[in-house]
Chains A and B, each alone.
Chain A
């Protein structure tokens, strides 16, 4: 337990007192009633006595300096090891105070999940590093936001600074909450995803399907053809021996796994029970009324296939950190081509 020693107010309108001399040295044992320091104010001096037994520690005011009334100038601690490490000179403390009081942002920052781009400063990082990471322009400025937005954001542990970084106009209001949620989720675990959509005529594909079904005895579904085509297209951009495709289809969107479906005859493609890495996910909505479905995406590449009158709508949704836009677009182009002119596959 540490007791604070403060600069006392000795006069009516006194703002500072002059510390004339310390009468004990840092680390000295003191007893209650021992004179600790000599203080001068309005031409009179007096001695300040210890109010507790212990050791004098954390002396933070120099002799012959003016110290604001109420300022802590030292501590009396029960044992020296327990003395707090932090040591500030009284003269410097004013500057530090400003830093501590100003950025509410700093305290807000601590509450939010550490984002990938902004790793939490470790203890070994100096304060300089910390400033570099957070950017002085964001930490030192006040954020203008309505009280309602502040309370809503606080309830969801969201940091308003994301709106500022994204260039939204202040003051932020409750209507900005949805943007803040999005920005924060991108900042955190869920990366921003990109997507592209193409529309492909069904006609050749349907003819192709009916012809191979009349040739073979089995009933080959569009699912098997799609899985095979996607697998073949993926091979163009993916350097992997094994292609694993998680395929969701049917009204219930149940999922199955296909391993290298492009390496099999269409009638021989079977779902795999092997424990293989998933290269891409396919959400086949052709058996449903939906044309789009978002969320629940776990792989870097995700295809959504849906019926769009006489066409298939194919959406590719990719993780830009892993797949370049160039590769993504050539992947989508390649797949669209295969569906548009399936017979070319056989040549």
Chain B
């Protein structure tokens, strides 16, 4: 099967959907001429024109507000938020308006909008361009949150997001745009709320999102050399969350570690760990562990920055500690 990059997969998903549905537009900073700083959208303005691929002024609240209104009145906008860190600027448009419109209008209005943005540290972009803020959005009822972990996932989840009649936020790891994976030429969708068991195992369940899926898989490989069988699960969407798959896995393995690149405090790892403790408590043979980003502003110093993000080695070490009863 052909291999394409994560960025190309996102591009392909958007282009395919835009060809199918003329109501889909893209708006954001540097989306047209520049094709975004990560070049993910290159070529789209040439095919679909500036009417549908719209460069906006530098005003995130402005263009997100425009998109919410356009979505309520018949278009299907894809908002490009250049950095996930800018979410703080659009909280009202996203969380107060987009997330609640369908509910507050008694179902008369809906907001079929996709907000694609990014996450991930270790790009030497300092504290205001390196955050992973998925927990902030997943906390709000009315928003769906997808976290693709590969090119294949990115394309399938983006297409599903565009076809969803409710606001969806997609977090792409900005360090994965050049990672290649097998992506079929024929069309496919990935359903929301269906976790992916990447590697079956019997001793411990590693639940990892986005960039952390790779780390978990690497850890599972080195653990296999020690005869430790780790099951790696990618929830794909953290809202809705495929609780059943996660719980069933933990019932089988009796051990779990949750890994996400967001800050650990009050984060995705906390939520998933809590659900496991609630619903698989009597099957647990050790406390559920969390590995999230260190609870500090992401440092600019490369040496320090690298220390703040969970790694395969950390996962490996934690697994051994859990299974040896040292926790």
Contact = CB atoms under 8 A, between A and B. Distances in A.
The answer to whether A and B interact is yes
Interface of A: 146-151, 171, 173-175
Contacts of B282: 147-148, 150-151
Contacts of A147: 281-285
Contacts of B286: 146, 173
A170 to B, nearest CB: 10
Contacts of B254: 146, 148, 174
**Which of A148, A149, A150, A174 has the most CB atoms of chain B within a 10 A radius of its CB?**
A148
21 contacts: A146-B254, A146-B284, A146-B286, A147-B281, A147-B282, A147-B283, A147-B284, A147-B285, A148-B254, A148-B282, A148-B283, A148-B285, A149-B285, A151-B282, A171-B325, A173-B285, A173-B286, A173-B325, A174-B254, A174-B285, A175-B285
Interface in B256-305: 281-286
Nearest to B284: A147
Nearest to A150: B282
Given A147-B283, A173-B285, A173-B286, 10 more contacts: A146-B254, A146-B285, A147-B284, A148-B282, A148-B285, A149-B285, A151-B282, A171-B325, A174-B285, A175-B285
A171 B284 CA distance: 13
Nearest to A173: B285
Contacts of B285: 146-149, 173-175
A149 B254 CA distance: 10
Interface string B150-179: 000000000000000000000000000000
Contacts of A151: 282-283
User: What 9 A-B pairs have minimum CB-CB distances, sorted nearest first?
Assistant: A148-B285, A151-B282, A146-B285, A174-B285, A147-B284, A147-B282, A147-B281, A173-B285, A148-B254
A150 B285 CA distance: 9
Interface residues of B, number: 8
Interface of B: 254, 281-286, 325
A44 B33 CA distance: 79
Specify the main secondary structure of chain B where it touches its partner.
loop
A173 B327 CA distance: 11
Contacts of A148: 254, 282-285
Nearest to B327: A171
Contacts, number: 25
A146 B287 CA distance: 8
Contacts of A149: 285
Contacts of B325: 171, 173
Nearest to B277: A147
A146 B277 CA distance: 12
A171 B287 CA distance: 11
Of listed B254, B285, B286, B325, residue having the most chain A CB within 10 A: B285
B188 to A, nearest CB: 39
A149 B284 CA distance: 8
Nearest to B281: A147
A171 B282 CA distance: 15
A171 to B, nearest CB: 7
Nearest to B254: A148
B254 to A, nearest CB: 5
B283 to A, nearest CB: 6
Nearest to A148: B285
Nearest to A171: B325
Contacts of A171: 325
A88 to B, nearest CB: 34
A54 to B, nearest CB: 44
B205 to A, nearest CB: 14
B204 to A, nearest CB: 13
A79 B283 CA distance: 49
Contacts of A175: 285
A150 to B, nearest CB: 7
B50 to A, nearest CB: 60
Nearest to A145: B285
A175 B283 CA distance: 13
A47 to B, nearest CB: 46
A90 B287 CA distance: 39
B274 to A, nearest CB: 15
A346 to B, nearest CB: 59
A146 B286 CA distance: 6
Nearest to B286: A146
B282 to A, nearest CB: 4
A174 B284 CA distance: 9
Nearest to A174: B285
A174 B283 CA distance: 10
A151 to B, nearest CB: 4
Contacts of A174: 254, 285
Contacts of B284: 146-148
A148 B281 CA distance: 8
A152 to B, nearest CB: 9
Nearest to A169: B325
A202 to B, nearest CB: 43
Contacts of A173: 285-286, 325
A148 B322 CA distance: 14
Most interface-central of A147, A149, A173 (chain B CB within 10 A)? A147
A151 B325 CA distance: 18
A143 to B, nearest CB: 15
A89 B281 CA distance: 39
A308 B285 CA distance: 43
A176 to B, nearest CB: 10
A175 B282 CA distance: 15
A206 B249 CA distance: 61
B253 to A, nearest CB: 11
A257 B325 CA distance: 51
A148 B282 CA distance: 5
Nearest to A146: B285
B258 to A, nearest CB: 17
B272 to A, nearest CB: 18
